[in-house]
Structures are given as structure tokens and as C-alpha cells.
């Protein structure tokens, strides 16, 4: 993500005279430190998250702006693919267009609270969730240090931070659930019956599964 973002900024600067390239360069000089510090910062809360939500079967993931792509990716890859859990990504701006009707005290939400122009959408959704829901995990880019980056470009670095931090969440959840992140039911082709075993769980896959 960082490489593609760097390339995109340089191409825009070369073709259209994009004037924020210095801000991008300064941001790239800071982002590794921000991410490293954030990893250390979230260790206690990721463990607490796994302890609290290990037995949940469904998660709603909210995000906005550049972060929505990662809300989507975390839902379909980290939770559905890697943990065999039901999950649904919801754009924070779409939350009140119907999805908020399923909100109650028993459904878990993970909210990616961005830095940037769409942060008010996340804050609006969180205000409602804090009133009507009890299982809400907030991953706040500002709290994790992204506001150290120039506000003109900081929002584009949300996905880089969230990807790494949510990888910590999924790792702790996988450990607590005793469900390896490496195991798949269908994302491989096998021509003989194979049994996949880890922990106390046995899974069998057969034939030409893809």
C-alpha cells in the first residue's frame, strides 16, 4: 500500500503539478515510526478484544473514506476467510441508511475511526453506537498517532495504519479461538482426501476443492 501510494503521489506531481508531494515525503518518513508505536500501544487492547469476543459469530466493521476498503478487506479476508466468521463491512456514511436498525446490545462492532475529511461520519456512527450498543471496539487513527502527519495528506495513510493494527487484532483472535490464520477449507486444490488438524479441531476436505 505504501509503495503504491508513493507512486501515485509522484505521478500526480509529475503529470498535474500536485503540490502536496513534500507533505507526502514527510509522511513517509514518519509512518513506520507511527505504525511501530501503535503496535506496541494496542497489545493490551487486542488481547482484551480476543478474550471478550472469542465466541462471537458475527461482526460488523465500519469505516469511511480511504479506510472503507480496509473495513471491507478485514471483513471478507481476516474474519470470513481466515476465521470462518460471519462479517459485514458497512460504510459509516451508509450506517444510517438502514444498517443501524440491527444495532443492539448483543452485536459486536469494530469501528475504524479515520483521520481526515470523513472522520465526522465515523464520529456520528459512534455516537449512536455508544448509546444503543455495548460491544463496540474503536480503532482510532488519531489516538494511534496518525495526526502527526500533515492534515492535508494524513487521510491517505489511514489504510496503512489500520492494516497493520487490525492484523494484531486478528492474530490475537486466532490464538484465542485456536483457529490458525493459515487454514482454509476451499482456497486450495487437493485430489485426495485430507484432514486438517490443529488444536482440538478436525476439518476434512475432499476432492477438487478450489
For 101-140, give the DSSP string. GG--TTS-EEEEE-SSTTHHHHHHHHHHHHHH-S-EEEEE
- pLDDT attached to residue 207: 44
Tell me: pLDDT of 85 over 90. yes
pLDDT at position 199 is: 52
> Is the confidence at residue 182, as pLDDT, over 80?
yes
* C-beta of residue 18 within 8 angstroms of C-beta of residue 12: yes
Q: Which pLDDT belongs to residue 200? A: 54
Inter-axis angle of helices 21-53 and 2-16, nearest 10: 150
**Which of 150, 133, 163, 146 minimizes the C-alpha distance to 63?**
163
pLDDT band at 121 (very low <50, low <70, confident <90, very high): very high
Per residue in 94-110, pLDDT (tens digit) is 999 999 999 999 999 99
Tens digit of each residue's pLDDT (9 = 90 or more) over 21-49: 999 999 999 999 999 999 999 999 999 99
Name all domains of the chain by residue range, CATH numbers in brackets.
Answer: 2-179 (3.40.50.10490), 184-210 (no CATH)
- Determine phi and psi for 19, rounding to 5 degrees: -95, 5
Nearest to residue 154, comparing CAs of 62, 65, 41, 89?
Answer: 65
Predicted TM-score of the model (pTM): 0.87
DSSP 149: S
Amino acid at each position: 500500500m505504501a509503495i503504491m501510494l508513493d507512486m501515485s503521489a509522484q505521478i500526480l506531481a509529475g503529470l498535474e503539478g500536485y503540490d502536496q508531494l513534500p507533505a507526502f515525503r514527510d509522511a513517509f518518513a514518519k509512518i513506520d515510526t507511527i505504525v511501530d508505536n501503535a503496535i506496541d500501544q494496542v497489545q493490551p487492547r487486542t488481547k482484551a478484544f480476543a478474550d471478550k469476543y472469542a465466541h462471537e459469530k458475527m461482526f460488523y466493521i465500519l469505516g469511511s473514506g480511504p479506510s472503507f476498503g480496509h473495513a471491507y478487506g478485514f471483513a471478507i479476508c481476516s474474519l470470513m476467510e481466515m476465521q470462518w466468521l460471519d462479517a459485514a463491512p458497512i460504510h459509516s456514511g451508509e450506517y444510517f441508511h438502514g444498517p443501524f436498525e440491527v444495532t443492539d446490545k448483543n452485536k459486536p462492532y469494530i469501528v475504524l475511526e479515520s483521520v481526515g475529511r470523513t472522520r465526522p461520519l465515523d464520529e456520528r456512527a459512534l455516537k449512536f453506537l455508544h448509546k444503543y450498543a455495548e460491544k463496540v471496539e474503536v480503532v482510532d487513527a488519531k489516538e494511534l498517532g496518525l495526526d502527526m502527519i500533515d492534515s492535508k495528506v494524513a487521510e491517505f495513510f489511514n489504510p496503512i495504519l489500520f492494516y497493520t493494527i487490525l492484523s494484531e487484532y486478528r492474530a490475537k483472535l486466532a490464538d484465542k479461538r485456536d483457529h490458525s490464520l493459515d487454514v482454509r477449507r476451499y482456497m486450495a486444490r487437493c485430489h485426495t482426501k485430507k484432514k486438517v488438524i490443529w488444536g482440538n479441531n478436525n476439518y476434512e476436505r475432499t476432492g477438487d476443492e478450489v
